[in-house]
Amino acid sequence: MMEEKIISRDDLLKICKDVIEKGHTLLSPGIAEYNVVKDVSQIKLDASALPTKTSYKSYVFPKAEPVLYYKRSKSDVQLIDVNVDGKNIIILGAKPCDTNSLNIMKHLFNWDYSDEFFNLREKHFITIGLMCSHYDEYCFCTSIGLSPVSEKGSDIFLIPLDKNNFALRIVTEKGKEFIEPYSEFLNTVDETLSRQVTENVKQPEVAFDCKEVHEWLGSNFENPKWEGIGNICLSCAQCAFVCPVCHCFDIVDEDYSYTEGRRMKNWDGCQFGNFTLHASGHNPRDIQSKRYRQRVNHKFRYYVDKFGEIFCTGCGRCSRGCPVSIDIKEIVSNCKD
């Protein structure tokens, strides 16, 4: 599939403008989050920016969404189904640590039962990734098999060649379909140019070996380390909410009148104390150390065993945002010590 072209920043913005005018949703990273672009002058396309505080997960898997509406009369109930509108969403300038997120989540939302709320949105996602040229102490994409130049999950991948030009790699059929109408803006390019950039990009050092971590977790379900972390962790679950792949949710009913309401699927987090609390009062993960152990195991062991993929993209958001500076990279890197 891989085909490489060159495109100028101005032409790229022209495409963006057209995309918006056609009524599609265009998302681009701001500082805190991926913003819906109303005016193309907002678009930064800055490869050296740090990851946004949150990923674009909420555009495929919203924080809160109704799965049905109900109306109660005397003893009858009427259910009203909901439909997800399959509107195209184009993400421009996503970090490589974000682009792979939907690929990872796909397994969970499709084993046996297919969650069409996720699937319909994911199907209409067009991901234009952007090489990443800046990392901080929390980044560890290289440790989990990604990199600042990974095209995994991107339909189109951009590499800045100079201030005004990008190498544009068409990675998937979906990407090709998207860019075809704009072929007038694409020119042939000497591919060594982009290779030079990607080969020289600064990369975070590999901090741990996933196989070793997987193995360690398998034999250290009981380990005093968990208690140590559990004593620090506040159970706030911000790590789950900023994570580009965490998918836990709750299902709750919300009445908005005596007779009507809706059933909501809301984000939830495995770090909350009542997450696994039984009605009887029994709680399998009753203390924080067990909940943190679940989080690390889920990411580096359970998901791997189940779906063959590490449940993490190495973006470092969970650690960057942690109010008590728990750093998952540090924990897994030093697990054996």
Partner 1 sequence: MNNIYMPHLAEIKEIIDESPDTRTFRLRFKDEDTSDSFEFKAGQFAEYSAFGDGESTFCIASSPTRKDFIECSFKVYGKVTQALYRLNKGDTIGIRGPYGNWFPLEDMKGKNLLFIAGGIGIAPVRCVIDNALDLRDDFKDIPIICGARSVSDIIYKQEIKEWKARSDLKTVITVDPGGETKSWDGEVGFVPAVVEKTAPPSDNTAVILCGPPVMIKFTMPVLTKLGFKDEDVYTTLENRMKCGLGKCGRCNIGNVYVCKDGPVFTYAQIKRLPQEF
Of 276-305, binders to partner 1 (CB under 8 A) are 276-280, 282, 284-285, 290, 294, 297-298, 301-303, 305
Q: Which stretch binds partner 1 (CB under 8 A): 35-43, 48-56, 141-149, 272-280?
A: 272-280
Q: Does the footprint of partner 1 cover residue 255 (CB under 8 A)? A: yes
77 φ/ψ angles, rounded to the nearest 5 degrees: -135, 140
Tell how strand 165-170 and strand 77-81 pair up. unpaired
Contact letters (x/-) for partner 1, 215-244, by CB under 8 A?
Answer: ------x-----------------------
224: Cβ–Cβ under 8 A, 6 or more apart, which residues?
none
Residue 218: burial class (beta carbons within 10 Å; 0-12, 13-18, 19+) = exposed
Q: Which of 268, 309, 313, 314 binds partner 1 (CB under 8 A)?
A: 268
Q: Which stretch binds partner 1 (CB under 8 A): 140-148, 154-162, 163-171, 274-282?
A: 274-282
Q: In the bound complex, what is the minimum distance in angstroms from residue 70's beta carbon to partner 1?
A: 5
Q: Which stretch binds partner 1 (CB under 8 A): 7-15, 112-120, 127-135, 183-191?
A: 112-120
Q: In the bound complex, what is the minimum distance in angstroms from residue 169's beta carbon to partner 1?
A: 33
Residue 85: burial class (beta carbons within 10 Å; 0-12, 13-18, 19+) = exposed
Q: Which is nearer to partner 1, 182 or 302 (CB)?
A: 302
Q: In the bound complex, what is the minimum distance in angstroms from residue 138's beta carbon to partner 1?
A: 24
Q: In the bound complex, what is the minimum distance in angstroms from residue 114's beta carbon to partner 1?
A: 7
40: Cβ–Cβ under 8 A, 6 or more apart, which residues?
13, 16, 17, 20
Contact letters (x/-) for partner 1, 309-328, by CB under 8 A?
Answer: --------------------
Q: Which is nearer to partner 1, 203 or 283 (CB)?
A: 283
Q: In the bound complex, what is the minimum distance in angstroms from residue 55's beta carbon to partner 1?
A: 17
Q: Which of 21, 113, 192, 205 binds partner 1 (CB under 8 A)?
A: 113
CA torsion 326-51-314-160 (nearest 10°) is -150
Q: CB–CB of 95/51 below 8 Å?
A: yes
Q: Which of 9, 14, 24, 72 binds partner 1 (CB under 8 A)?
A: 72
Tell how strand 64-72 and strand 3-8 pair up. unpaired
Q: Does the footprint of partner 1 cover residue 82 (CB under 8 A)? A: yes
Q: Which is nearer to partner 1, 225 or 290 (CB)?
A: 290
Q: In the bound complex, what is the minimum distance in angstroms from residue 196's beta carbon to partner 1?
A: 43
228 φ/ψ angles, rounded to the nearest 5 degrees: -60, -45
Q: Which of 139, 170, 270, 335 binds partner 1 (CB under 8 A)?
A: 270
SS3 101: helix
Q: CB–CB of 285/276 below 8 Å?
A: yes
What token pair was written down for 136? 């901080």
Q: Which of 253, 273, 334, 336 binds partner 1 (CB under 8 A)?
A: 253
> Roughly how many angstroms between the first and final C-alpha of the chain, as a whole number?
44
The CA distance from 91 to 170, in Å, is: 15
* DSSP secondary structure, 121-156, as one string: HHHTEEEEEE------TT--GGGGT--TT--TT-SE
Q: Does the footprint of partner 1 cover residue 32 (CB under 8 A)? A: no
By the criterion CB under 8 A, which residues form the site for partner 1?
Answer: 67-68, 70, 72, 75-77, 79, 81-84, 108-109, 111-117, 120, 221, 247-253, 255, 261, 263, 265, 268, 270, 275-280, 282, 284-285, 290, 294, 297-298, 301-303, 305-306
